[in-house]
Chain A
Amino acid sequence: MEKYRKYLPAAIAVGALILIWRTFFSVSETEFVLVTQFGRPLYAATDAGLHMKWAFQSATYFDRRLRVYNPRPSEFLTRDKKNIVVDSYVAWRIQDPARFVQTVGDPVAAEMRLHDIVWSGLSAALGAHDLDALVAPGGKVQTGDLMDALTDLTDRSALAQYGIRVADVRIKRINLPEQNKQSVYARMRAERERIARQYRAEGEEQALSIRADADRQKAEILSAAYREAEKIRGQGDAESTRIYGQAYSKNPRFYKLLRTLEAYKKVLDDKTTAILSSDSELLRVLTHGEAGAK
């Protein structure tokens, strides 16, 4: 006995270390620690930092971080009996480790339970609306509100049953089943063709109206110019007539003589045959001699 006494301090030191090791435990920011006594959960240490327990109690660590679970995309029926493929995600974390460990135990099992809750929730939520309301310009049904309600529902049920906090249930994608897509493509093509035709017709309309407008303006410009020009010509004619009248009225007899002679020069050309009397003013001298000049 005496012989082993010298090992006593070392043994005490080792014992103390083990005791410290079993008594103190640290809780990380990312974890919950569930303290159990012979398999029975006692309490959960949720604050990060150093904690103490009795050496005979044991600690189980749970990841408390937010996880994102992506269920497989699955088909749902809308109220108007149309199939849609919905891809969603669930953001969740462990809230109540004691309940969690008793009911589900590990994250994979938890996700399976969540899948069931979310699936039935989505099925009910989407089944209450027509496709045209769920997917519509401007959004007739706010899918955001729909999902907020579903998140609440899922959260309440998951927390009560499994100690899981559901932070969010969101639709990642609403799509159409493969077999429906061909008809969608056909509709899209038809719609595009209509739009293209409309564009072309509108272009034609615009072009025609531009051309017609130009033609009208041209006609307007030219006719207005014609009107002005004729007015000016008329002024010229009137003015010249006035000038002539004023001048000629001073001596109408002389004007008549002058003008008649002038007219003769034009009227009488080489096709004319004049039968002149020898008694005429011009020829009298020819026939009667000097006496004819009188």
Chain B
Amino acid sequence: MSLLRRFVWGILLLWILSGAYVVQTDREAVVTRFGAVVEPRVLPGVHYALPWPIDRVSTLKVRQLQRLVIGGEAADMVLGKTQPLASQFLTGDQNIINMRVVVQYSVGIPADYLFRTANVAQTTGAIVEAELARRIGRSDVDAILTTEKLAIQDAVLAAAQKRLNEYGAGVKLSTVNIESVTAPPEAADAFRDVASARADTARIVNEAQSYANDLLPRARGEASQLMESAEAYRTAKVNEATGDADRFTAVAAEYAKAPEVTGGRLYIEAMEQILPRIRKLIVDGNGNFDLSIIRRGDVPKNP
């Protein structure tokens, strides 16, 4: 009888002990008693809950990021598995663009995450997709392709998070990342042409800029050359004049002392220099001579 009793106590003890549980470091646990939440957030460590069937412990990897893709996986797209429809969005200016968006989320409030929605991934995906389409439907295609991408990501993240909170889904969105935005293949070449036109514009403008950058320094150089040569001219002119004037003044002073002699000397010296070079005909002082001797050209050349 005591053996049976001991056995019963043993079973009871084991049953009571079976309530101990361990929460791993990357997890959190939620404890429910007869279905109602009693411990909404149990942090990592060793804990005790009342044994089955009273308490139930559900653990969650709270930090693990879940990933979902809107617009089809790139690999699937290459293989042609997804429909093009899945990735097509209509922009505010009624252009069609292809987008692929990757959403990452994790557990925000464990109890809500576990009990509030039937399918967390589907709910999150639907909300993000709706918010995304709404933003895209209000933006221009150019803005989406260029400047507004980050703003759209942020706006969608904020709006989707707000809605998830309204639903009490217990989900924490960490990123909404627009991985690719492309023009549809049917119009892709035209979009590429716009990009190359933009590049052409930059190139043409750069060329003009470099033309200007080349031209202006040269012009400035030329200008300073002009100025320098003008300065040189002025200095030369003044120096020459001063020199000439000084020389004249000096000679004139001497001339004034004996004008007759000096004048005569200067005259004769000049004649000495001039006459050897030129043809000369010396005629009689009364002025009669026959001009034909010039015409005949038999006048001897310079000696």
Chain A interfacial positions (CB closer than 8 Å to B):
26-31, 47-50, 63, 65-68, 70, 73, 89, 91, 131-132, 134-139, 143-144, 167-168, 170-176, 181-182, 184-185, 187-189, 191-193, 195-197, 199-200, 202-204, 206-208, 210-211, 213-215, 217-218, 221-222, 224-226, 228-233, 235-237, 239-241, 243-244, 246-248, 250-251, 254-255, 257-258, 261, 264-265, 268-270, 272-279, 281-283, 286-287
Contact = CB atoms under 8 A, between A and B. Distances in A.
Contact of B116 (A66, A181, A210): A66
Nearest to B126: A89
Contact of B224 (A65, A68, A225, A261): A225
15 contacts: A50-B33, A65-B117, A66-B167, A143-B134, A181-B186, A189-B187, A203-B197, A203-B202, A206-B205, A207-B207, A217-B216, A236-B230, A273-B299, A274-B281, A276-B281
Chain B interface helix/strand/loop/mixed: helix
Interface in B275-303: 275, 277-285, 287, 289, 294, 299, 302
B282 A192 contact: no
Contact of B204 (A182, A188, A204, A277): A204
B226 A189 contact: no
A200 B275 contact: no
Chain A interface helix/strand/loop/mixed: helix
Contact of A31 (B35, B207, B245): B35
A37 B175 CA distance: 50
A65 B118 contact: yes
Contacts, number: 342
A200 B130 contact: no
Contacts of B15: none
B17 interface: no
Nearest to A270: B277
**Which of B198, B218, B248, B273 has the most chain A CB atoms closer than 10 A to its own CB?**
B248
Interface of B: 32-37, 85, 88-96, 111, 114-119, 122-123, 126-127, 129-130, 133-134, 137-141, 163, 166-169, 183-184, 186-187, 190-191, 193-194, 196-198, 200-205, 207-209, 211-212, 215-216, 218-220, 222-224, 226-227, 229-231, 233-238, 240-242, 244-246, 248-249, 251-252, 255-256, 259, 263, 266-268, 270-271, 273-275, 277-285, 287, 289, 294, 299, 302
B281 A184 contact: no
A58 B96 CA distance: 56
Contacts of A65: 115-118
Given A29-B37, A65-B117, A222-B222, A243 B133 contact: no
Contact of B263 (A173, A185, A257): A257
A139 B92 contact: yes
